[in-house]
Amino acid sequence: MPVTQYYPVGAITVPSSWIALIVGFVMTYLFIRIYFGKILGERIGNIFFNMVIIWKFSVILTDFSTVRHYPLSILYFHGGTFGWLLALLIVGVLTIRQGIKEKWTHRERWMLLLALISWQTVYQVMMTFLNEGSLQVKWGTIAAFLGLWILTFWSYRKTSNTVSELSAIWLAVHFMVSAFQPGAFWNIPLITTISGGLLIWRVQRLAVDSVSREEEVI
């Protein structure tokens, strides 16, 4: 959903996407912590925290002159699209390195997938409530992402699909939703989903390769 509404938060006015972003992060963190435990909850919390910090401080690169003259502007501005893409890249690399170093298990890889899909689902649902738009588009978006989340959670519980398969379904669902939502097709949420899908695929691929090498040694 495109941003059509802005809301006052303290002394500043923020776009609806900021609110949806933060609510998505908080709800996802709580879900992972409650369902998967404190350690994995802190892990996903660190991923989200790093995303926000890199995104916010990337304004130093995108608008250095403003930050140099008004240092507190970091609190009000961010690095825009460039900053978000930079955050996706850096956090993605750090997550892959962590997965390799800690040799993430099947459960941990599912945790990452569920966290990313949960955040995207909450974000999309919040955007439908916070912005103006067609009821058909709004309900279609809600149904598509809630259905995706239910399928992912059910698949994890029943071990009926693989992480890679659910990642592909996630991408397909978001492509479909972007096709009927107003605004540009190639938007930041869709690019974020593509990045998340590639991250999941890479983490899963590395895990499979690691198992294959261990079997060859044996």
Residue 13, beta-bridge partner list? 8
Is residue 86 situated within a structural domain? Answer: yes
pLDDT at 144: 96
Is residue 1 situated within a structural domain? Answer: no
Confidence of residue 121 (pLDDT cuts 50, 70, 90): very high
pTM for this predicted structure: 0.90
User: Is 162 in contact with 203 (CB distance < 8 Å)?
Assistant: no
Q: Domain range spanning residue 193?
A: 6-217
- Report residue 97 as tokens: 């390195």
Where does residue 123 rank: exposed (0-12), middle (13-18), buried (19+ CB within 10 A)? buried
pLDDT digits (tens, 9 = 90+) for 126-145: 999 999 989 999 999 999 99
Helices and strands (DSSP H and E) totals, the chain? 9, 2
Task: Determine the straight-line distance between the first and last CA of the chain, rounded to whole angstroms.
Answer: 52
Is residue 99 situated within a structural domain? Answer: yes
pLDDT digits (tens, 9 = 90+) for 152-175: 999 998 887 788 899 999 999 999
Is residue 85 situated within a structural domain? Answer: yes
Confidence of residue 217 (pLDDT cuts 50, 70, 90): very low
- Counted domains in the chain: 1
Is residue 21 situated within a structural domain? Answer: yes
Residue 86: count of CB within 10 angstroms of its CB: 17
Is residue 208 situated within a structural domain? Answer: yes
CA distances from 182 to 24, 98, 153 (A): 22, 38, 29
